[in-house]
Amino acid sequence: MVVACTRDVNVISSLPAATSTERLDILDDDFKVNAFSIMGGASVDRSATMVHGIERDEKIWTVVLESCVVDVPEGNTEEDTRLFADTVVKLNLQKLASVSEELAARDGDCNK
């Protein structure tokens, strides 16, 4: 993957679209940051994800921060849009945690 590349994504949610086109805006392995824009339709939504490792009590913890900017679709309120975006981010982070914990447990590296 390189910055400015695009990919078509099948949307698996209650979103009103079945597919989406995403463009990679930032990919920085040193700082563990990636950002992308969702293109097409009436708005361009942007998301950035940062990953930080923290060592504490002889364990390694991972903190993932995700931020996003979305346009308020016509006919929706700002509050409804914020609630929807927060829910999508929360579900994405929960899925990331689930997959990461499963991989760590399989590799014997889980801190639990």
In contact, 35 and 5? CB cutoff 8 Å: no
Report pLDDT for 45. Answer: 85
Domain that holds residue 21: 5-108
Number of domains the chain is built from: 1
Picking from 69, 88, 65, the residue whose alpha carbon sits closest to that of residue 12 is 88
Report pLDDT for 83. Answer: 92
- pTM for the full model? 0.71
Stretch (H or E) spanning 79: helix 78-107
Cβ-in-10-Å burial (0-12, 13-18, 19+) of 61 comes to exposed
Question: In whole angstroms, what separates CA 64 from the centre of its chain?
Answer: 9
Report pLDDT for 98. Answer: 92
CATH of the domain at 29: 3.30.530.20
pLDDT tens digits for 45-87? Answer: 889 999 998 998 988 888 999 999 988 888 989 999 899 889 8
